[in-house]
Amino acid sequence: MTDNLFKTNEEELLKTVAHLAKERQAVILAHYYCPPEVHRAAHFVGDSLGLSQEAARNEAKVIIFCGVHFMAETASILCPEKTVVLADFEAGCPMADMVSAKDLEDRKKELSAVPVLTYVNSSAAVKALSDICCTSANVVAVLRSLDSPTILMTPDKNLAQYAQKLVPEKKVITWPGFCPTHHRLNLKEITALKEAHPKAEVLAHPECQPKILAIADFIGSTSGIIKRCQESSSKEFIILTEEGVLYPIKKQNPDKIFYTPQTPMVCPNMKKNSLIDIVKALETLTPIIKVPEEIRLKALRAVEKMLAVPRD
Ligand code: 13P
Ligand code: SF4
């Protein structure tokens, strides 16, 4: 009964969202880690690279962003003429908060001419101080594209160590940031999960610690992991990234089996995005995310340089 009530509410809210989006000429973009009902409401669901590209390509005047703060900022950097609204203003990224513009400025002074490669999980002010950006989908290609033999990579030390392993000809200086949702995975637990399901392919996001990546069969961005589930001939998988990816994965692969760690991998910030938030955002066109022009122009250079790097 309660389930049905929720379902009815969900269907009603989805109709309201579709109606308002049309009225506002808005496009709804959502990251894979958002709750399933938000996937259903969105016009486009993607990883951070795909969402930036879609924001730039889409012709809608209004972007309702379901994700976290830095993602909406990236859309604002790329499309200053559009109204970018973050569905839930409280949705931030703790990893992005692990590097401030002031700390990066100080570190740059210490390292003098070393170029800075910054993960898109960062503020616009930090991007503005960086030479180039990357996402988990293009980090290796971006690192290889740089001329300098030494690079400072912020803020994710796990992503930096993963890239360093694949591009040994460069010296990567790491920053001590990490994603709490991925970093907390316990090697003992994952090894036991692997032993319990020896036929399962282990798919991990590069934000996991090196010791976890060392026992993975495949390492990729959220969209990379989703694609792998479809393309692999394996029938069982252990998924080591935020559980939001399971909604598209299970829909696309009804005959395959998916295992996850016992303590669920949940990003509390991504889960803040709700259908009610989307309705409110469409009704009020707030909260608007707008990057100040001086910062935007500098950050744009770093983001555009990244987008110009051909994928491997
Ligand atoms: P993707 O770029 O793989 O979508 O990851 C974004 C993110 O926040 C991972 O925690
Ligand atoms: Fe940030 Fe981690 Fe959440 Fe991704 S999963 S948005 S890196 S806290």
Q: What is the CATH classification number for the domain harbouring 300?
A: 3.40.50.10800
Please give the average per-residue pLDDT across 64-72, as a whole number.
97
Give the chain's mean pLDDT: 96
User: pLDDT category, 6, cuts 50, 70, 90?
Assistant: low
Q: Is the CB of 68 under 6 A from ligand 2?
A: yes
Q: Whose CA is nearest to atom 2 of ligand 2?
A: 179
Q: What is the largest CA-CA distance in the chain?
A: 64
- Do 79 and 11 share a structural domain? yes
Give the structural domain span for 279: 2-92+270-284
In terms of domains, do 274 and 213 share one?
no
* Choice between 143 and 6, residue whose per-residue pLDDT is larger: 143
Eight-class DSSP state of 34: S
Q: Is 137 left (phi over 0), alpha (psi -120 to 50) or beta?
A: alpha
User: Band of the pLDDT at 93, cuts 50, 70, 90?
Assistant: very high
Contacts of 223 (CB under 8 A, 6+ apart): 32, 46, 47, 49, 50, 137
Q: Is 221 in the pocket of ligand 1 (CB under 6 A)?
A: yes
- Whether residues 173 and 151 fall in one domain: yes
| Nearest bound ligand to the CA of residue 180 | 2
Looking at the fold, whether 252 and 200 belong to one and the same domain comes out as yes
pLDDT (tens digit, 9 = 90+) per residue, 262-312?
A: 989 999 999 999 999 999 999 999 999 999 999 999 999 999 999 999 876
Mapping DSSP to helix (H, G, I), strand (E, B) and coil, where does residue 303 land?
Answer: helix
205-244 burial, b for 16+ CB within 10 Å, e for fewer? bbbbbeebbeebebbbbbbbbbebbeeeebeebbbbbbbb
Give, for ligand 2, the residue of 32, 48, 121 to mutate: max count of ligand atoms closer than 8 Å to Cβ: 121
Does ligand 1 have an atom closer than 6 angstroms to the CB of 154? no
Same domain, 301 and 154: yes
Contact, 228 vs 250, CB < 8 A? Answer: no
Amino acid at 311: R
pTM of the model: 0.95
Measured in angstroms, how far is the CA atom of residue 264 from the centroid of ligand 2? 14
